[in-house]
Amino acid sequence: MKIKINWGTAIVIVMAVFMVFILQYVYRASVYDKYEHHLVADDYYKDELNYQEQIDKEENANKLIENVKIIKSELGLNIVFPKEFEASKISGDIKFLRPSNVKLDFKEDIKLTDNTFFISNKDLVAGKYNISIDWRYNTKGYMYKTIYIF
């Protein structure tokens, strides 16, 4: 038995197959953890309100004679703060944000005895990190941002 399909029926079949094709992608993206999607920051609205403050802190850091330096060693990362500042008066935090996996993000509080802060290799997984160093000396805020690949 031969089946005859006219143009109208063929167009409806093609549209139905295409819709099933698209819907299976939507289903996979929303149900499977393998295709996890997340925002870069959970509180991005709040972060946006503080953006001018971040710009001011970055300008303060850029005006320094010597800015923060990140030096890689065999054991980990040494974050060197400017020598012109007394280490005990520096406070703040260092955020390591992994764009590809939010579960690898972490934050360290800055507590210095000298002008160097050390991050061990065991805390870092190979890949790309957005590093944000938000620090204060006395009452003035500074910020240093960079992208680092381990």
Q: Are residues 101 and 133 in the same domain?
A: yes
Determine the structural domain holding residue 3 and report its residue range: 1-37
Q: Are residues 33 and 64 in the same domain?
A: no
Helix/strand/coil for 41 = coil
Mean pLDDT over 37-48 rounds to 68
Cross-strand partners of 103: none
Question: Residue 143 has what pLDDT?
Answer: 95
Q: Using 50, 70 and 90 to split pLDDT, how confident is the model at 38? A: low
| 85-130 pLDDT, tens digit each | 999 999 999 999 988 888 888 999 999 989 999 999 888 888 899 9
Residues 6+ apart with CB under 8 A from 4: none
Phi, psi for residue 36 in degrees, rounded to 5: -60, 135
What is the tally of structural domains in the chain? 2
Is 0.95 topped by the overall pTM?
no
CA–CA gap between residue 134 and residue 109 (Å, rounded): 10
Q: Are residues 98 and 113 in the same domain?
A: yes
